[in-house]
Amino acid sequence: MNVLLDGQINLPKFEEANAGLFSWDVTHNIIYADRAVAECFGLPYTEAKLGLPLEAYIDRIDQSERDEIISALAESVTSPGQRYFNYSTQRPDGSKVSLLAIGQCFHSDEGVPIQYSGIVVPLAENDVLGTSVLSRLLAAYEAVQRIRCDEAVAKIVDAINIVLELQAKSPSRH
């Protein structure tokens, strides 16, 4: 079963997707995460639930994607609305996890970033094509949403849903 994101994008149900929750206290630079997020990043859950600095998570992002994700994250902290990130982590044991992260930064009345909350959904292993396509579709989705092109948004949403459906059916997910 899937749930709708922004009323349009179908994501697998939270429990079925092995998704995890995180909350980043931007002011103190501490991320609190559940067991699923800790596992995706190869971090000890006992430490993640008590809070770890952002850098502990950044260090686990695949080196080839790290600079791009740091830049996108910095932009998302100052911008309103949800952001979608697609990247891979590398755990200490050498294994990689491809992720879809969805988050939003909340600001004080003065516009100061305070809290950033979101979910992390592990994607099908060894689905390089689907993950690459999903990443580009999510970027296009954000771009056309900003310019309010409803027809383009609808077409991109359809394509995202197809990729997510194919990934959910992938034998490596089960």
Question: Domain map of the chain by residue range?
Answer: 2-124
Q: Among 72, 75, 121, which Cα is nearest to 98's?
A: 121
Residues with pLDDT less than 50, the chain: 1-7, 14-15, 128-129, 173-174
Per CATH, domain 2-124 is 3.30.9.10? no
- Structure tokens, 17: 């997707």
Q: Which amino acid makes up residue 124?
A: A
Give this prediction's pTM: 0.69
Place of tokens 């490596």: 172
Are 81 and 107 in contact by the 8 Å Cβ rule? The answer is no
Helices (H), strands (E): how many in the chain? 6, 8
| Tens digits of residue pLDDT in 13-51 | 544 557 788 999 999 999 999 999 999 999 999 999 999
Are 122 and 98 in contact by the 8 Å Cβ rule? The answer is yes
Place of tokens 């502990």: 56
